[in-house]
Structure 1
Amino acid sequence: MLIREATAGDWPRIWPFWHRIVAAAETYTWDPDTSEEAARTLWMGPGKRVYVAEDPAGTVAGSAYLTANYGGPAARVANAGFMVDPDRSGSGIGRALAEHVLAEAKAHGYRAMVFNAVVETNPAVALWTSLGFAVLGTVPEAFEHPRHGRVGLHIMYRALD
């Protein structure tokens, strides 16, 4: 699996699984009806370092972004987003992207990473926990899950030092 910085030309290969994941309304707080143009700005907009995971055939199987979570004196706390093509779920792509982005965050001077809204039923919670993230708190019943009803949103944190 090759993980590299994304180019503008990668967006058409990210959009199909981005749309599929967000439209499912199970793991992201973005509007399921987000347009492609708005999605591109959300994922690849200013201030974000974007990465793609390519398999040996050159297929983009996942993507992630890295950005500052806050500004000013708190700008050394990172935030990131991760998506793996649902057809490739469970194949280690998410872990590989996560490890890559954590290393990139540290290399770019971030001291910590925080996720602001991890749906508590998201299977990725186990991945984040295995990578050293802790749940700082949960906003109860903040997310309308299409199958589970109202579920909480975790705030997760990991130091990078």
Structure 2
Amino acid sequence: MTALRALARRLGHRKWFAAALRPLVPADRLIGRLTKGRVVALGLVPSLVLTTTGRRSGKPRSNPLLYVPAGDAYVVIGSNWGQRQQPSWSLNLLAQPAAEVDLRGRRIPVRAELVGGDERERLFERLVAEWPAYRTYVARAGDREVRVFRLVPVGEPRPPA
């Protein structure tokens, strides 16, 4: 683990850290798009770019997210940095589970599955192992259910656009 990654993991629990990084998400989106998904989150954590269909607009919406692998699938969490509202991408997946993942220069069509029960707890622990601040984010989110999704590939990867 690099020193920068270790520092980010330690600071991730701090409220100011989330507040400072949230405004950088659009820049991260841009970097992810320009590098065709090869560089996301400055390469500090395993990341992908998830493209959903906007539930109201019908337009593509892309978000960089930390993920952990689970077999052939990718697991993501709707922590929203511990905010009290659900992230828009999470609501989009519930309305339309078909999505796309950009990962290391490959575009992969996926179908989102909301994970619950014991499986959710098991996958949540894997996410926390990668980013310990998720426990803090869940506490900050109050009574909001922090959703965990499994993104299951449904087709052949395609080259980036």
TM-score category of the 2 structures, normalised to the smaller one: 0.3 to 0.5
TM-score normalised per structure 2: 0.33
Structure possessing the higher relative contact order (Cα contacts under 8 Å, 6 or more residues apart)? 2
